[in-house]
Structure 1
Amino acid sequence: MLGFKDIIGHEKIKEHLQKAIESDHVSHAYILTGETGMGRKSLANAFSMTLLCERGKSDPCMECHACKQVMTNNHPDLIFVTHEKPGSIGVDDIRGQINDTIMIRPYSSYYKIYIVDEAEKMTVQAQNALLKTIEEPPSYVIIMLLTTNQEAFLPTILSRCVQLKLKPQTDAVVKSYLMGSLGIKESRADIYAAFARGNLGRAIHLASSEEFQLLYSELLHMLKHLKEMDIMELLFYIKKMKDENLDIYDCLDFMQLWYRDILMYKVTQDINLLIFREEFNTMKEMSASSAYDGIETILKAIDKARIRLDANVNMELAMELMLLVMKEN
C-alpha cells in the first residue's frame, strides 16, 4: 500500500487531500472519479492511512501500529463496503454495512472511514439510503465513493460530496515509470504509454499481458503484409482475432497508432516522433508508398469501424469493410 509520496502524478488531488488534513478541514464525503487503473484506490488508501496514522502528519509514517493495520487490511476503523451481486450495490448493502454501523464510534482512531468501490453500481434506492447518512453524518465519519462514472450518481449525492476527478498522466510520466521502475526498454515503453492513454495502471498491465503481446505480434504481421494478402487471408485474421478473444477496440487502437506513425513520418521524416520506432524501415517504406489522403481515409475507416461496433453492427462485417479500405489505400 502506498503513501501520498509514492503515488505517481495526481499532484493537485494529493495536495487538496493533504491540505485538508493539515488544516483540519476534512470533508465527510468524497467522490474519486477515474478510469480503472488510474489510481483511485491508491489515493483513497493513502488518504485513509494518513488520517488514521498515529503521528498525525500529512503523509502516513508507514511504521505505527495503525499504518500497519491499514497495510494489512486489518484496521477496525477502515471499512471497505462489499456487495454480493457483481452488477449492483443494493440498499441492503448500504444499510447493513454503513447505516447500521455508523453510530458506533471508532475503536482506536478519531476517524471512521468507509470506502465504497465501484460506487456507480449503487441502485437509486441504495443512493437514497446513503444520502440520509451523508446529510447528517457523525463528526468522525468519512465516506469515500470510488467510481468510473460519477454521472451515475443522483444530483443530491453529487452536491453533498467533494468531487475529485483523476486526470490522465502524460505519456512522458508513464514512460519514465515503465523504464525506471519496471526496466522496460524505451521502444516498448513508448508503445505501452501511447496505448494506455495516460492510464499508468493500464500501461503496467499491458507490459505484463500475454494477451497484449499476442495482439501486438498478430496485428503487426497483418499490417506489415496487408497489401500482399488476399481477402480470404484477411478474413482469416478477423476470425483468428475473434477466436483468440482479442479485445476488438484494442485492435482498432493499435491500428490507429500504426497509421498515425506512418502519417507522422511522411510529414516530418523524424524517427524520434514515432511510437513504433522498432519498425522504422517498414514505416519508411509505407509512408513513401502511401498518399496523404489515402492514410487519412484509412484513419477515418478505423473510426467508422468503431462507430459501427458501438451500434452493434456484426464485428466481422465491420472489420472486413475497414480492412478492404486499408487494402485499397
Structure 2
Amino acid sequence: MGSFKDVVGHKDILKYISSAVENNRVSHAYILNGERGSGKRMLANLFATTLLCESGNSEPCGKCHSCRQAESGNHPDIIRVTHEKPNSISVDDIRTQVNNTVDIKPYQGPYKVYIIPQADLMTPQAQNAILKTIEEPPAYAVFLLLTENAEMLLPTINSRCVMLKLRNIKDTLIRKYLMENLEIPDYKADMCTAFAQGNVGRAIMLANSEHFNEIREEAVQLLKHIHDMELSEIVAAVKNISVYKLEITDYLDIIMIWYRDVLLYKATKEIDKVVFKDQLQSIKEQARKSSYEGIELILESLEKAKARLKANVNFDLVMELLFLTIKEN
C-alpha cells in the first residue's frame, strides 16, 4: 500500500485528500475515475488508511495499529466489495455487503470505508440499491467508487459523489520510477514508458511481463502483412492469438498505438512522438497507403472490439471482424 511519497503523479488528488482530512471536510462518497492501471486502488487504499490512521494527520503514519491493519488488508472498518460474476456487480452483492452492514457502527475507527472496485460494472438494480444508501448515509460512512468509465453510473450517483479524475502521468516520471524503483535498464524503461501512454500501472505490468516482447512481435508481424492475408490466414491468426486471451487488452492496445503512430506520421511527418521507432519504415509505408478515414475507422473498431470482449461476445468472432476491418482499410 505504501505512503503518499510512493505515489507516482496524482499530486492534485493527494493534496485534495490531505486537505479534506485536515479540515474535517470529508465527503460521504467519491468516484475515482481512471483507466485500468492508473492507480485507483492504491489511492483508494491510501485514502481509507488516512481516514482511519490513529495519528489524525493528513496522511497515514504507517506505524499505528490501524495503519498496519490496513496495510495487511485486515482492517475491520475497510470493506472491499467483491463480486462472483466477472462482468457485473449484482444487486445481491450490494445488498449483502453494503446495505445490510452500513448501519453497524465502525468497530474501532471514526469512519467505515466502503471501497467498490469496478463500480461501473454495477447493474442498474445494484446502482439503485446503493443510491439509497448514498442519499442518506450514516455520518461515519465513506464510499469510494472506482471506475474506468464513470458515465456508466446513474446521473443521480454521479451528482452525489465527489469526482476525482486520474490523469495521465508524464513520461519522465514513469521512466524515472521504472529505473529507480524497479531497477529496469534504460532501454527497456524507454520502451515500457512509450507503450504505457501515461499509465504507470501499465508501465509496471509491461516491465514485469515475460510475454510482452512476444505479444508485441506477434502483433507487429500481423500488422505488417494483414493486407496480403487470405481469410483462412486471418482465422488462423485469431486461433494463434487466443493463447493471449488474458492479455488481449494489451494486444489490442499495441495495435491501437501502431495506428496512432500511422495517423501521427501521416498528419505531421514527425517521428519524435512515434512509439514504434524500430518499425519506422513500415509506419511510413502504411501512412502513405492509408486514408485518414480508414485509420479512424480502425481505431473506432478497436474500441468496439474491447467493449465487445468486455461484454463476453465470442472471442473469435470479435477478433475476426476486427482483423477484416483492418485488412479492408
What TM-score range do you get, normalising by the shorter chain? Answer: 0.7 to 0.9
- Aligned-residue offset at 1:208: 2.3
What SS does the aligned partner of 1:210 have?
coil
- In 1, Cα distance between equivalents of 2:287 and 2:254: 22
Q: Matched residue of 2:174: which SS?
A: helix
Q: Which contiguous aligned blocks of 4+ residues in structure 1 show a shift greater than 6 angstroms?
A: 260-264, 311-314
SS in 1 for 2:198: coil
The TM-score with structure 1 as length reference comes to 0.80
2:256 to 233, 253, 256: 253
Paired AA for residue 9 in structure 2: G
Q: Sort the Cα spacing of 1:230 and 1:43 in 2 relative to 1 into closer, same or farther, 3 A.
A: closer
1:192 aligns with 2:192: yes
Instruction: Kindly tell me the number of residue pairs found equivalent between the two proteins.
Output: 312
Give the whole-Å Cα distance in 1 for the aligned partners of 2:325 and 2:140.
59
CA distance, structure 1, for counterparts of residue 237 and residue 254 of structure 2? 12
Residues 254 and 298 from structure 1, CA distance in 2 versus in 1: closer, same or farther, beyond 3 angstroms? farther
Contact 1:13 1:164 in 2 (8 A): yes
* Secondary structure at 2:30 match in 1: strand
Counterpart position of 2:31: 31
Structure 1 equivalent of residue 99 of structure 2 = 99
- Taking the aligned partners of 1:187 and 1:76, their CA distance within structure 2 comes to 44
Between 80-89 and 161-170, the greater mean CA deviation after superposition: 80-89
1:219 and 1:124 map into 2 onto residues whose CA distance is 37
Give the greater-gyration-radius structure (CA). Answer: 1
The aligned residue for residue 214 of structure 2 is: 214
> For residues 6-48 of structure 1, what are the alpha-carbon distances to aligned partners after superposition, in whole Å with 9 as ceiling and x for unaligned?
1111111111111000101111111111111111110010011
Secondary structure in 1 matching 2:211: helix
User: Given the superposition, is the C-alpha separation of residues 258 and 34 from structure 1 closer, same or farther in structure 2, using an over 3 Å criterion?
Assistant: closer
Residues 189, 261 of structure 1: CA spacing in aligned structure 2 closer, same or farther, 3 A cutoff? Answer: farther
Give the share of equivalent positions with the same residue, in percent: 43
1:304 aligns to what? 297
Task: Give the structure 1 partner of residue 312 of structure 2.
Answer: none
What 5-or-longer segments of structure 1 have no aligned partner?
none
Deviation of 1:81 after TM superposition, in Å, equals: 1.5
Matches within 5 A, 1:153-232: 153-220=153-220, 231=228
CA distance in 1, matches of 2:327, 2:269: 24
- Asked if 2 retains the 8 angstrom alpha-carbon contact of 1:4 and 1:47, the reply is no
Distance 1:53 1:253, change over 3 A: same
CA distance in 2, matches of 1:250, 1:238: 20
Residues 262-287 of structure 1 deviation map (CA, whole Å, 9 limit, x = unaligned): 769x946x7x665455x3xx74x668
C-alpha distance 196-129 of structure 1, shift in aligned 2 (>3 A): same
Residue 257 of structure 1 and its aligned partner are, at CA, apart by 5.8
2:241 paired residue number: 244
Conserved? CA contact 1:259–1:299, under 8 Å: no
> Following the alignment from structure 1 to structure 2, what is the Cα–Cα distance between the partners of residues 238 and 211?
22
Q: Structure 2: which amino acid aligns with 1:36? A: R
One-letter amino acid matched to 1:187: Y
1:88-131 Cα shifts (integer Å, max 9, x gaps):
22222222222222222111111111111111122222222222
Confirm or deny: 8 A CA contact 1:195 1:253 kept in the other structure.
no
Is the CA contact (8 Å cut-off) linking 2:110 and 2:140 kept in structure 1? yes
Q: SS in structure 2 opposite 1:244?
A: helix
1:285-324 superposed matches below 5 A: 294=288, 297=290, 301-308=294-301, 310=304, 315-316=319-320, 319=323, 322=326
Change (3 A) 1:254 1:32: closer
Give 1:65's aligned residue: 65
**Corresponding residue for 1:48?**
48
5+ unaligned residues in a row in structure 2: which ranges? 309-316
